[in-house]
A = this chain, B = another copy of it.
Amino acid sequence: MSLPSTYADRNCSLARALEIVGERWTLLIVRDAFYGVRRFGDFATQLGIPRASLATRLKALVEEGVLARDESTAEYRLTDKGIALWPAIRALMAWGDEFYSAKGVKRALRHAEDGGLIDDRGRCAECGLLIPVTEIQIAPGPGFDATGPAKDPVSTAMNVPRRLLEPI
């Protein structure tokens, strides 16, 4: 994205954040990482992203400390810095649900411990607490469209209730 570093943007943390996660595909890669995707090939087939672009993006995310690459297994995992992106992703998902999914949310977020729905500020409707990412369960919601073929094991795993960050 090329640091703009104009005087105007030097004082904007949004511009800084978008330097890292504002390029095409990047946030979708991070989203998949939350869903438990860890392997190069799984990112590629899941997102339909060209492998060259994926390699570039993953390298950049590792360099910035959003993902960590396990040298022995070649798996990519979110770091704490990456996990800290969750509120931003949730906010964008909520906006997309609100304005582009007439039948309701496409994915529902629940507190895995008590099943309470998580609101758009990250709070559980049951216990009222702020729910950490590892305790969030994601499941198809009313706006979910189940038609069409989805044979490969990775995408079927992603369309079934599961906890965030749990490996596919």
Contacts and interface: CB of A to CB of B under 8 A. Distances in A.
Interface of A: 1, 4, 6-18, 21-24, 27-28, 31, 46-48, 81, 84-85, 87-101, 105-107, 120-122, 140, 143-145, 148-150, 155, 158-159
A87 B91 contact: yes
B12 A31 contact: yes
A17 B148 contact: no
Contacts of A91: 87-88, 90-91
A14 B106 CA distance: 10
Contacts of A158: 8
B96 A6 contact: no
A92 B17 contact: yes
A101 B116 CA distance: 35
A11 B159 contact: yes
A12 B92 CA distance: 11
B145 A8 contact: no
Contacts of A140: 11
Given A11-B159, A27-B22, A17 B93 contact: yes
Contacts of A17: 92-93, 95-96, 100
